[in-house]
Structure 1
Amino acid sequence: MARSLPPHQPPLAGRTPGSGEGDGGEDDGVVDPRDGLGVRGQDPRWHDVDNAVTDDEAPEVRVNNESKVSRVDTGQLEAVPAAVGRFSTWRARRRAARAEEAAAAEPAEGDESSTVVPFPPSGHRRRRRRRLTGLLVSLLVLVVLALVVFFSPLFATRTIEVDGATLTSPDAVQEALSGFQGVPMTRISKQDIKDSLGDVPQVKSVDVVFHPPHTIAVQLHERVGVAVVEDGDSFVLVDSEGKQLSTGPKAKRPDVPLVAGGRKVLSSQKFTDVSDVLAALPADVLSRLDSAAAPSGSAVELTFKDGKKVLWGDASQSELKSQVVAAFVKAKATADASEIDVSAPLHPVVK
């Protein structure tokens, strides 16, 4: 606590300022230690000080055992803080200063010229904003790219080239693939094209090649007709699985064997056995064949164009039987034979 004036030496007991002791009451002229410039009672400044202290009724401050008493000027004293410590006092002052600064920063009511200057954003917020901006820009670029690639006419299909159509009608193929015209190639898969040609009976498999930006090449692998069956006044060309490939008049019969039994035989075991036999025959022998039948169970009979018959038996040992038949058909010694039995290929019989 600051003092207005440094404390002075109090008079001894039984003495008062201005009274002497031993010399008839003369003033001892005690020097006041407050400034060292005069003697109490001789310096006129002390008269004013004593009067001021008396008039203001300055409180007495007791020190230690009350043997020393000083008077202070209360106008220069600070209030003693509450008993909460220096840190609490400092914190209270700091809060009060912040409140004053905040009040001063608020624009006066009705003052349009007042401007509040915001604090600059922190570095962390700037980095986070940059990352968020970069992410949004990347997403926007991906969306635009997807729209361009998958939905714009930039890669739209304009030409579909079809090769390998022999039994298949080109118009039927183009009609099956017409749904892909104008569709972006990025939205078309090979399986989509194969599925679209699944209803074309002559097509067994398909190879697809994309030629960006506007062309699709389709290579057809058609089924191979191995026989015909009668259907009224026409013939139906079928493959080894009994799949019907085309229909034509009897006058234009394809150069393949005729399987007896009509269309109903196509779903029976007889046709399966006949088909296995036809597949085992060499091409030069197959070209001489006129018809095939399975009259009794799985026993297969072949008839050649010159009228010669071959009793094949069942479909077992087909490879060996085909070699025996090829040898007899080409041999001059059996050129006049009417029947060749190879049901037991190791012991063939020629009649």
Structure 2
Amino acid sequence: MPPKSSKPPKPAASGPAADAGVVSHGMAQRLAERDAMRRHRLLRRVLGWTAALLVVAGLAWVALVSPVLGLDTERVTISGQGTVVDPAQVAAVVGEAAGTPLPRLDTVALRDRVLDLNGVRDVEIRRAWPTGLDVRIESREPVVAVPVDEGFALLDADGVRVRTDPAAPEGLPQVEVPLDDADPLALDAAIVLLNALPPELRAEVEHVSASTRDAVVMGLRDGDTVEWGSAEDAALKVRVLQTLRAVPENAEVTVFDVSAPTLPVTR
């Protein structure tokens, strides 16, 4: 049997066909690497957004749901209640919101509730982070006492009735104008008069009467009477009255008529 002849090995391919195979393999590898980098960047972006959403959700839960920022009534401060507003009533209204997270607390509605309380003229409510409130009240302080069946109605500078006392508080001028008067402007004129007086002169007023809005009369604590007239020219009337009372020749005068301030009369 003749011996098998051995064939020489086939030489390696060369030329354009071989180069195309190498280029194709290298391009595929680069494309695969680029796709892997894109997937990696996309994964990092998704993980970043997910982490951010979790942080936001956590913060929202802490701020709006959890008791971490809940209103603590021990950290509520109330000021400006004056002599009329009962701070216990204010605290009771605020206390109804205890535990409510501060960011979710409706301070506008809470302010309206406090304004409904007797003697409150205005109120400002500020959040005192992290769990408190600062409640600043402007009270309706009485400036006059008006006789009524139950005693004396105490009115503030706006003519609002803040409370009724059995007797007129010491130092508070009495206004002799019925609250149900057919001419409420008479009461307004009396209050305008008291608001126009400087503090040192207002402290001397014992009572005010007003049969009409143009016939306001003041009685002072030293017994002098001031015929004031209408509410017009209040500032000028104050200056004329102070000047007349300071003149030594008027030491015995008991009636000062400044209803026409350019032509005052004493007697």
- What TM-score bracket applies, with the shorter chain setting the length? 0.7 to 0.9
Contact kept in structure 2, 1:274 and 1:293, CA below 8 Å: yes
1:308 is matched with 224
Post-superposition offset of 1:349: 0.2
- Correspondence 1:157 to 2:74: no
Q: Does 1:270 align with 2:186?
A: yes
Deviation at 1:146, TM superposition (A): 0.3
- The offset of 1:238, in angstroms, is 0.9
Structure having the larger proportion of residues in helix:
2
- 2:55 matched to 1:138? no
1:330 Cα deviation from its structure 2 partner: 4.5
Residues 209, 217 of structure 1: 8 Å contact kept: yes
Taking structure 2 as the reference length, the TM-score comes to 0.76
1:208-260 CA distance string (max 9 Å, x none): 4433323323232222321111221311111111112222112x524222122
Please point out which of 235, 249, 252 is paired with 1:319.
235
Are the aligned partners of 1:228 and 1:259 in contact in 2 as well (CA < 8 Å)?
Answer: yes
Indicate yes or no: 2:97 matched with 1:183: no
Unmatched segments (≥5 aa) in structure 1: 1-118
* Residues 312 and 274 (structure 1), Cα distance of their counterparts in 2 relative to 1, 3 Å cut: same
Gap change, CA 1:229 and 1:324, over 3 Å in 2: same
User: What is the aligned partner in structure 2 of residue 225 from structure 1?
Assistant: 142
> Structure 1 residues 218 and 343, CA, compared in 2 at 3 Å: closer, same or farther?
same
Question: Is 1:295 the equivalent of 2:211?
Answer: yes
Q: Secondary structure in 1 aligned to 2:261?
A: coil
What residue in structure 2 maps to residue 214 of structure 1? 131
Provide closer, same or farther for how the CA distance between residues 229 and 211 of structure 1 changes in structure 2, counting only shifts above 3 A. same
Counterpart of 1:348 in structure 2 is: 264
Q: Which has the higher contact order (CA 8 A, sep 6+)?
A: 2
* 1:256-282, Cα deviation, whole Å (9 max, x unpaired): 221222332599222222222111112
Over residues 21-49 of structure 1, what are the superposed CA-to-partner deviations in whole Å (9 max), with x where a residue is unaligned? xxxxxxxxxxxxxxxxxxxxxxxxxxxxx
Give structure 2 stretches of 5+ with no counterpart. Answer: 1-31
1:171–1:147 Cα change, 3 Å = same
Alpha-carbon contact 2:185-2:212 (below 8 Å) kept: no
Please tell me the residue identity of whatever aligns with 2:165: G
1:218 counterpart letter in structure 2: V
Match of 1:73 in 2: none
Size of the aligned set, in residue pairs, is 232
SS in 2 for 1:180: coil
Matching residue of 1:201: 118
Ranges of 4+ aligned residues in structure 1 off by more than 6 Å:
none
Partner residue, 1:339: 255
Alignment deviations for residues 284-332 of structure 1 (CA, whole Å, 9 cap, x no partner): 2211112222213433221223332211122111101011122334444
Does structure 1 conserve the Cα–Cα contact (< 8 Å) formed by 2:196 and 2:235?
yes
- CA distance in structure 2 between the aligned counterparts of 1:188 and 1:331, rounded to whole angstroms: 61
Aligned 8 A contact 1:207 1:218 in 2: yes
Asked whether the equivalents of residues 201 and 244 of structure 1 are also in contact (C-alpha less than 8 Å), the reply is no
Q: 1:267 to 1:209 in 2, by over 3 A?
A: farther
1:202–1:313 Cα change, 3 Å: same
- Deviation track 1:62-120 (CA, whole Å, cap 9, x = no partner) reads xxxxxxxxxxxxxxxxxxxxxxxxxxxxxxxxxxxxxxxxxxxxxxxxxxxxxxxxx99
Letter in 1 for 2:104: R
Amino acid at match of 2:157: S
Does the 8 Å contact 1:337/1:350 carry over to 2? Answer: yes
- TM-score (normalizing by structure 1): 0.59
Query: 1:260 — aligned with what?
Result: 176
Q: Which moved more, 1:176-185 or 1:214-223?
A: 214-223
What secondary structure does 1:228 align onto? strand
RMSD (Å) for aligned C-alpha atoms: 2.7
Deviations 1:170-223 (A, max 9, x none): 211112212222222222355344223111232223344433323323232222
Tell me how far apart the structure 2 counterparts of residues 270 and 189 of structure 1 sit (CA, whole Å).
Answer: 41
Q: Sequence identity, in percent? A: 26
3-state secondary structure, aligned to 1:247 = strand
Amino acid at match of 1:280: A
Question: Residues 76-115 of structure 1: matches in 2 within 5 Å?
Answer: none
C-alpha distance in 2 between matches for 1:330 and 1:156: 62
Equivalent residue of 1:181, what SS?
coil
